[in-house]
Structure 1
């Protein structure tokens, strides 16, 4: 399931994720089990109340948005897209990286590193 994204779509996604995205590496299995063989799991989460923007992002990454149980203080619905599959991340993260500032670049570089460690 390769993504087919234009340079403009990549730049749009990078701008959106720079401001609203959350990049992280889930290392919970290592913390829970002394002899865990599960690799660290990089992921992207995007949550916001703008349904049309979430739907566009979800369409581009071929994911389905879901509605969060929580509401904002103004009682708005929060929509979320989670990207955690390695294939999508291996394709997407290196293309997004040149568009990010210093802080985002640091975590995205670490995510890419973790993905390449466990892909070899």
Structure 2
């Protein structure tokens, strides 16, 4: 996965899982050295244990996680899009035509607010 990210121009590094030695991904999460993690499992019981621990740590330290292989290319595309353009913020109301109120009686206003 690190190679996929690097080919897309996103700096990435493969790090050790917890059972593979030190320094491992858990240490790097706790020290603030990881911003995005791609965690995939080989089906090995140790990988599954490490995966659970790393996902919990990522949530606790607010690190973004991708847990399926298909998510990595989609994330690469999203990051590439963000890097190549500015983000425009548009209010939801701007997508719809504003409806004008023809009557201002309390009954009409109550009906309008309950239908939203």
| Fold equivalence (TM over 0.5) | no
Structure having greater relative contact order (Cα 8 Å, sep ≥ 6): 1
Normalised by the length of structure 1, the TM-score is 0.27
Q: Which has the higher strand share?
A: 1
Normalised by the length of structure 2, the TM-score is 0.28
